Amino acid sequence: MLSYLNPILPFHSPSHFNSPDALTTKYNASLSCGRVQTPTLALIVSRQKEIDAFKPEEYWEVEADFGEYKGTHINDKNETRINKKEAAQEIVNKVKGKTGSVTSIENEEKKNINVINNNFRNVYIF
């Protein structure tokens, strides 16, 4: 990409603009940046912004102990999180001390496919 930009924006050429030298001069320290560090720093900054914007939310889950295994309550949307403590307590009160039965069993074979994308063209920031 830089080879395309050099005729248009010659300051992108390493002979016209040396990023590590510019950083060293500006901050009076031996700093480096390059084609690998630039997108890496962009990813780190992006992730840090996500972390800083994170707002924790309190939630509850109802778990039942069936002896040999434990089960977790799942709602109609196939979620285990319950947003209100009172709603979780209501579920506990409805089932506490009662017996239940298994009405159906579903077996499903799943495969874990690990896909590695080796295309780093989209990582670079120009």
- Find tokens 């509850």 and name the residue: 60
CA distance 97 to 65: 11
pLDDT tens column, 64-118: 888 887 889 999 999 999 999 999 999 999 988 888 777 788 888 888 776 666 6
Q: Given pLDDT bands bounded at 50, 70 and 90, which one contains residue 46?
A: very high
pLDDT at 57 over 80: yes
pLDDT at 122 over 80: no
pLDDT at 43 over 80: yes
Contact call for residues 78 and 97 (beta carbons, < 8 A)? no
Q: Given pLDDT bands bounded at 50, 70 and 90, which one contains residue 16?
A: very low
pLDDT at 3 over 90: no
CA distance 119 to 3: 20
Q: What is the mean pLDDT of residues 31-45?
A: 79
When mean pLDDT is compared across 2-6, 28-32, 42-46, 103-107, the lowest value belongs to 2-6
CA distance 39 to 53: 21
